[in-house]
Structure 1
Amino acid sequence: MPDTVSFGYEDIAPEDKTRRVGEVFSNVASKYDLMNDAMSGGMHRLWKDRFVRRVKPRAGEHILDMAGGTGDIAFRMAESGAAITVADINPEMLSVGVERAAQRGIDGLVWTEANAETLQFPDRFFDAYTIAFGIRNVTDIPKALREAHRVLKRGGRFFVLEFSTTQWPGFAEIYDAYSHKLVPKLGKLLAQDEDSYRYLIESIRRFPDMPSFERMIAEAGFQQTKVEPLLGGLVAIHSGWKI
């Protein structure tokens, strides 16, 4: 681990990032849909649908949905009949997910508090590992990627949905202005929390670009890595296999 890691545009000690990210998500847990709608213009719902279609969950599989506390990805996969474990480091996010599952009548999901860097699951346990809009908030990303590789069976599938950097001329500037100037203001107006929303936008800007993150996935041991850009790379679906 380096001496400092990014927290938005700040560089802070690694031990401080886990705590401060935890505070952000404790603050926004009850406004999760609002947060994602503000950051994506509501398009996160379509991206998540596409993401789950790429995962192709199947009955009888064991799938770990990491950083999935509010259940957005797990709910989409539940109808497949797969055994899904929803893990999140933040108990407030998990509480929101459990409540939402009850409201929707979705049973059978396993909810557990877990740190992506130090998973409590045994080696070669899961058929697939998913993480949507969570990897950029991990303090030690390479360590989390190695843990994902460890808990997957041979032949296991690894999928990440994460914001990146759009390569469409003109659109990048428009989204940059929208995200930096409007999203924090929307956070203040709608959720009374400007700082958390500002961090979430800044964390996108500090996240590695698509080729760099794909290399990190390969360095963790995954093979046949692939990147599928959405909106020119504003969001990307990364994938790899444990072979």
Structure 2
Amino acid sequence: MFTGLVETMGTVSSLEPLDTSASGGGGTSLTITDCEDILSDVNLGDSISVNACLTVTAFEKGWFKVGVAPETLRRTNLGSLTEASRVNLERAVKGETRMGGHIVQGHVDTIAKLLAVTPDENSLVLRLQPRDITILRYIVEKGFITLDGASLTVTQVKDGEDGWFEVMLIAYTQEKIVTAAKVVGDSVNVEIDVVAKYVEKGIEAYFAGTAGGNMSFLEKMVGRIVDEKLKR
């Protein structure tokens, strides 16, 4: 588990084919450098967020390796990394860690395309459109969102088939995460707040039980709320 507060940015120094013949597909081994600050207490098998949760397979003082499985390559933007790409890095939390961000699993739900970058004084407003548009139902204004492993606050959401959401990067954050350097057309990893998933499942179970499995009541209630919201 992570907080989404990026500790440092590392550099991809090499990409090598990963032998995953036993699982029926190929993956990639990434070597990350420029990250000595976070390796003082690293161990083999540790989880480190490299834009997404990955496992340390080898390390020395100034570098570490992680394996990226085929499923991870399909679901994330890690397959687009090249030598010299910069990545957000965060170690897994300890029991005494302050939760300055939010609960981040490092499990990417989808990727999103950067539609626009708009300056707002010394901040940047990023507008993004998720590849899986259905996840917009979990994204709410002022709620949490994780982009490339970084915990950010949603500033605006537009639902629908052409929907999108926005986040704002203050000047300090721009210096600390790789997302600030991305340009229109680039992709980012998106992890929604896991609490939203639990809430949805709990509500579905409750209404399924009280309504004898008939979900039409819940659908009508949600539809009414959406209609009222669109009229404003």
TM-score bin, normalised by smaller chain: under 0.3
Question: If the length of structure 1 is used for normalisation, what is the TM-score?
Answer: 0.23
More strand by share: 2
TM-score, normalised via structure 2 length: 0.23
Q: More helix per residue: 1 or 2? A: 1
Q: Larger radius of gyration, structure 1 or 2?
A: 2
